[in-house]
Homo-oligomer: A and B are copies of this chain.
Amino acid sequence: MRAAVLRAGAVETRVIGDPVPGPGQLLVRALACGICASDLHFMDHPEAGAEDDSGMSTYDQDVDIVMGHEYCAEVVGYGPGTERRIPLGTRVSSLPVLTTPGGRKIIGQNPESPGGFGEYFLLTEAAARTVVSDLPSEVVCVADAIAVGWSAAARARVTTREMALVVGCGAIGLSVIAHLRHLGRGPVIAVDFMASRRETALAMGADAVVDPAEASPFQAWRDLARAPAESAARGVGAAGLPGCVVFECVGVPGVLDSIIRGCERGTRIFSVGGPPEGERLHTLTAKRKGLNIQFGGGPSPVHWDEAFDAVCSGSLDVTPMLGRTVALDDVPAALDAARDADGPVRIVVVPG
C-alpha cells in the first residue's frame, strides 16, 4: 500500500507492505484522517515514547511507522476469530487503540498499529463503531479530536457556582467549549493569540474571547465574574467570586505554569494539552493557592462514544474547525503546515 511513513524523524510517502489483520482485528481502508498536534508531538519527541513504560506508544526510529489516529475508514477484510458483525463496505471509526498479541497499542504510534496516513490499517473489531450518518468522512474523522475535550469538559464537572476559562483554541479547547455549551455551563471565556482561532471559538460557543497579548485572561475572567448578574446567578454575593476552572489546551511549555501563577486561589486546572517535554512548575505558588490539577488521561470510551454520536448526528457542528483536505503525497508538507498556530484547526488527509 501507499502510506506517509515516519522513519528516523522524517515523513515520506512511499509503498510499504499491507497490514495483515490478526485475531479479532478488522482490515480497513482509510477514507479520511485528521492531522493532530499529537502527531507532531510524537514525531518530534521520540524520547517521550521511550518514557512511556506502558508500551502503548513506541517510537522506534529504525522501523516504519504510519501515524494518524483521527480516522474514518471502510471495512475491507476480517482477521481470524472475528465475529464479522460489521459488513464489508461499512464506514467505521474507533477509539485509537488496537488490541494486539503484544498488548494494547495506540493506533498511529506503534509499528504494529499503523494509522490513517496510509491506504489501509487495522482496527479491533470489538472497538469499532459504525458511522450512522450521511456526513462526509472528512467531517466524521474529527470526532476523535472532539472526544478529548468532550471528555475533559465532562470529567471536570463544572458546577453552576463555577466559571470556566479555556486556554488554547485548537481542537481540544474548541471541543471543551462546545461541550461546556452543551452542558449549559457558561459563560465561557476562550483565550488564544490568533484572531482566527478566537473567531472559531466564538463559532463553537464561547461567550467571550481574550487575546493574551492584549489583556490578562485572568483579569478578563475576574471582570466578567464580578459582573452583578454573574454574582447573583451564582449566589456568591457582591464580594465573592465564583470558583474558577481553567482548561489548559495548549501543550506548550510554560502555559500550565503561567496558569498557576495567574489564577485565583482554589482554582481547578484541567491540563488537557500538556507539553511532551514536561514542564517546570511553581509548586510553591500552587501550594499557597491550594490549586488542584487534573491531568488529561485519554477520553473514556463512554465519552468517546458520546462525542462520536454528537458529530455523526450533526448536533455538534465541527465544520468551523475544518480546513483543506490533502492527498497522501502532500502529508509531509501538510504536517509542516499544521505547525502554524494561525492555520485551520484540522487539515484532513484523504488517502484514496
Report which A residues bind B (CB closer than 8 A).
Answer: 48, 51-52, 54, 256, 265-266, 271-272, 274-298
Do B283 and A289 touch (CB < 8 A)? no
Q: Across the interface, which residues of B come within 8 angstroms of A278, CB to CB?
A: 280-284
Do A284 and B275 touch (CB < 8 A)? yes
Do B276 and A279 touch (CB < 8 A)? no
A282 to B53 CA separation, bound complex (whole angstroms): 13
Contact A271 to B284, CB < 8 A, known contacts A294-B292, A295-B292: no
Do A48 and B284 touch (CB < 8 A)? yes
Copies in the complex: 2
A327 to B289 CA separation, bound complex (whole angstroms): 35
Contact A281 to B284, CB < 8 A, known contacts A290-B297, A292-B292, A293-B292: no
Do B286 and A290 touch (CB < 8 A)? no
Among B52, B279, B297, the residue within 8 A (CB) of A283 is B279
Q: Across the interface, which residues of B come within 8 angstroms of A290, CB to CB?
A: 294-298
A48 to B283 CA separation, bound complex (whole angstroms): 11
A52 to B292 CA separation, bound complex (whole angstroms): 18
Q: Across the interface, which residues of B come within 8 angstroms of A287, CB to CB?
A: 271-272, 274, 295-297
Taking CB as reference atom, which chain B residue is nearest A253?
Answer: B283
Taking CB as reference atom, which chain B residue is nearest A256?
Answer: B283
Please list 11 pairs of residues, one from A and one from B, whose beta carbons are closer than 8 Å in the complex, sorted by A's number. Answer: A51-B282, A51-B284, A52-B288, A271-B286, A271-B287, A274-B284, A274-B287, A275-B283, A279-B281, A280-B281, A292-B295
Which has the most chain B C-beta neighbours within 10 Å: A265, A276, A282?
A282
Do B292 and A284 touch (CB < 8 A)? no
Q: Across the interface, which residues of B come within 8 angstroms of A48, CB to CB?
A: 284
Taking CB as reference atom, which chain B residue is nearest A272?
Answer: B287
